[in-house]
Amino acid sequence: MKKTRSFFMVPYLAWIILFVIAPLILILYQSLTNNQGQWTLQNFQTYATSWTYLKMTLNSFWYALLITAVTLLISYPTAYILSKMKRQQLWLLLIILPTWINLLLKTYAFIGLLSRTGTVNQFLAFIGIGPRQLLFSDFSFLLVASYIEIPFMILPIYNAIVQLDPALVNASRDLGATNFQTFTKVVFPLTISGVKAGIQAVFIPSLSLFMITRLIGGNRVITLGTAIEEHFLTTMNWGMGSTIGVVLIVMMFIMMMLTNDRKKKRQEVLPNEEKTN
Amino acid sequence: MKKRRISSIYLIIVFALLYAPIFYLIFYSFNQGGDMNKFTGFTWEHYSALFADQRMIVIVLDTLLLALLSSVIATLVGTFGALGIAARKQKKMKSALLTLNNVLMVSPDVIIGASFLILFTSLGISLGFGSVLISHIAFSIPIVVLLVLPKVDELDPALLNAAQDLGATRWQTFSRVIIPFITPGIFSGFFMAFTYSLDDFAVTFFVTGNGFATLAVEIYSRARQGISLEINALSAVMFVFALILVVGYYFIDQYSRTRRQKRKHHQNETQNEGVMLP
């Protein structure tokens, strides 16, 4: 029994070694060597002393934070209301459906919507604010990125809210808590795990978005993702690209450590993970 | 009562915002004028242009083939991986494997793309359909494992013992007992892998090279040149396709749910089950 099992495990273990461990090592190796393959900290030195790189990192971090905050503000009430609706499966399906439309197509829609003569500007002209430059601005980047990330924030929060025992809410009301108190003292603390999972699902991808910065942001916002893509595919400076990649990976680990509950980890990984991409 | 109305309005607004861009695209795919600004008249011409576009059709077929191949292979590898992980007795080993499994789930696409690019170059694999296929298989495996594993964990060891007591060979136990039991998980894993592959842009963009393009990469290069209503027509077609996929997934999910509930029903007499979530 054991032998056959291990035999069938071979492709999976090979996958782990080749596509999980090896890429991580390779990216680290690239960042720590120069063109001649010698070990050096040159790349990290350049990164840490260059104001351009540091500013870009901070900028990217700031926008990811903004995107996460915006999606959280919109998603929490949505998830909460959803959890009180009838026919929840259907509503959930409607939330999931847009995530199955190719990302590029959704972004492309915004090119049309936000263009100088586009629908939004026609509306702005109609109410007298006049056509504005919407496309290729920081605002449009924030808008489109938030739009794309919203479902990934709603789903984990929703999962946490439906797991909340309604008896606790009733108890809190019976004991004389106002709605606001019930929310801040009971509902929110008990669903914080969903919020954390949502932040995890939104923040890291927001750091690494690169196609939206091109098509919508007009390269005004440079995220870590854009910088990596540029270094790998345009300037062919893989060492520096890998260095930024390592920075991104480190940020990811910090983020995960901040948002993972030790206690509940086991139960949470499964139901949430399947929807977070 | 008033509160309920406010929350309904809020929900409607959110849904309207979620769907507005999609319907906007579809709406203008029927526009006679060549842009997305003013609707001048109804036409099917962008659809006929789309279906006459040889390059586009080849790309769509390639993308579908890629999704199908990668999801089938990822499902196979992932299912055996899940069975293997579940069979591990030591907890530490199990959680180490799961952690490694989840690395690609949480890694940003750019990192996956860039590191795979380094991997392929250092192994001397040329960029093209092959490298894209390998990458898609690689990033689809963990989701298959995550969806199959709970099913394997639900498997009652008594069931396996019973099969063996009744004289089933190892292969028979596997094909007649284990596989049918975990089939719903395998199907959802396959579906997820399929959509991951269809949806991916970033990883493909890194490892595709010059000769081969998937739909997402093609849309990107066309969108950079500006608006073409052929893309709108394409998005309408893809919306319908996604709708079919979602409904399909929904039914598979419902099917496995009712089966689970039925089974729970049988067990109810003997043991007290926790509250089932809707």
Q: Least CB-CB distance to B77: which of A12, A77, A211?
A: A12
- Is the CB of A229 less than 8 angstroms away from the CB of B110? yes
- Is the CB of B102 less than 8 angstroms away from the CB of A273? yes
Q: How far apart are CA A97 and CA A151, in angstroms?
A: 9
Read off the CATH number of the domain in which B173 is found: 1.10.3720.10
- Is the CB of B37 less than 8 angstroms away from the CB of A82? no
pLDDT tens digits, one per residue of A1-35: 455 556 778 899 999 999 999 999 999 999 998 87
**Residue B254: its pLDDT value, please?**
74
**Residue A276: its pLDDT value, please?**
37
End-to-end CA distance of chain B: 25
Read off the CATH number of the domain in which A143 is found: 1.10.3720.10
pLDDT tens digits, one per residue of B196-225: 898 899 999 999 988 889 988 998 888 888
- pLDDT reading at B256 higher than 80: no
Is residue B192 within 8 angstroms of chain A, CB to CB?
yes
In a domain, residue A44? The reply is no
- Do residues B130 and B250 both lie within one domain? yes
Q: How far apart are CA B184 and CA B181, in angstroms?
A: 8
Q: How far apart are CA A225 and CA A208, in angstroms?
A: 4
Q: Least CB-CB distance to A211: which of B25, B37, B201?
A: B201
**Residue B206: its pLDDT value, please?**
93
One-letter-per-residue 3-state SS of B96-114: HHHHHHHHHHHCCHHHHHH
The answer to which of B233-237, B238-242, B272-276 has the lowest mean pLDDT is B272-276
- pLDDT reading at B186 higher than 80: yes
Number of domains in chain B: 2
- Do residues B182 and B248 both lie within one domain? yes
In a domain, residue A213? The reply is yes
- Is the CB of A27 less than 8 angstroms away from the CB of B7? no
Query: Which secondary-structure segment (H or E) carries B160?
Result: helix B157-165
- Do residues B13 and B66 both lie within one domain? no
- Do residues B163 and B115 both lie within one domain? yes
**Residue B70: its pLDDT value, please?**
96
> What ipTM was predicted for this assembly?
0.82
In a domain, residue A10? The reply is no
- Do residues B33 and B89 both lie within one domain? no
Rg (CA), chain B: 23
Find chain B residues with C-beta within 8 A of A210's C-beta: 110, 202
Q: How far apart are CA A110 and CA A120, in angstroms?
A: 10
Q: How far apart are CA B223 and CA A103, in angstroms?
A: 12
* Angstroms from A26 CA to nearest CA on chain B: 7
Q: What is the mean pLDDT of residues B74-86?
A: 92
- Is the CB of A12 less than 8 angstroms away from the CB of B84? yes
In a domain, residue B278? The reply is no
- Do residues B34 and B125 both lie within one domain? no
In a domain, residue A27? The reply is no
Q: Which of A248-252, B18-22, B82-86, B139-143 is modeled with the greatest confidence?
A: B139-143
**Residue A277: its pLDDT value, please?**
36
In a domain, residue B131? The reply is yes
Number of domains in chain A: 1
Do residues A101 and B239 make contact, with C-beta atoms less than 8 angstroms apart? yes
- Do residues B142 and B35 both lie within one domain? no
- Do residues B69 and B35 both lie within one domain? no
- Do residues B87 and B38 both lie within one domain? no
Q: What is the mean pLDDT of residues A29-54?
A: 88
Q: What is the mean pLDDT of residues A183-197?
A: 89
- pLDDT reading at A134 higher than 80: no
Confidence of residue B111 (pLDDT cuts 50, 70, 90): very high
Find chain A residues with C-beta within 8 A of B234's C-beta: 105
- Is the CB of A8 less than 8 angstroms away from the CB of B83? yes
- Do residues B120 and B204 both lie within one domain? yes
Q: How far apart are CA B191 and CA A92, in angstroms?
A: 17
**Residue A38: its pLDDT value, please?**
83
Q: How far apart are CA B206 and CA B127, in angstroms?
A: 9
In a domain, residue A220? The reply is yes
Output the average pLDDT for chain B. 85
Instruction: Return the DSSP state at A258.
Output: H
In a domain, residue B273? The reply is no
From its phi and psi, is residue B227 left (phi > 0), alpha (psi between -120 and 50) or beta? beta
- Do residues B32 and B83 both lie within one domain? no
Find chain A residues with C-beta within 8 A of B195's C-beta: 100
Q: What is the mean pLDDT of residues A211-233?
A: 86
In a domain, residue B112? The reply is yes
In a domain, residue A40? The reply is no
Q: Give residue B32's domain range.
A: 1-43
The answer to which of A5-14, A79-88, A112-121, B248-257 has the lowest mean pLDDT is B248-257
Residue B155, classed as helix, strand or coil, is coil
Is residue B26 within 8 angstroms of chain A, CB to CB?
no
**Residue B267: its pLDDT value, please?**
56
Q: Give residue A222's domain range.
A: 51-273
- Is the CB of B110 less than 8 angstroms away from the CB of A248? yes
DSSP-H helix ranges across B212-276 = 215-224, 229-267
Confidence of residue A263 (pLDDT cuts 50, 70, 90): very low
- pLDDT reading at B124 higher than 70: yes
Q: How far apart are CA A10 and CA B77, in angstroms?
A: 9
* Angstroms from A12 CA to nearest CA on chain B: 5
**Residue B263: its pLDDT value, please?**
65
Is residue B6 within 8 angstroms of chain A, CB to CB?
no
- Is the CB of B224 less than 8 angstroms away from the CB of A274? no
- Do residues B110 and B190 both lie within one domain? yes
- Is the CB of B242 less than 8 angstroms away from the CB of A101? yes
In a domain, residue A19? The reply is no
**Residue B161: its pLDDT value, please?**
87
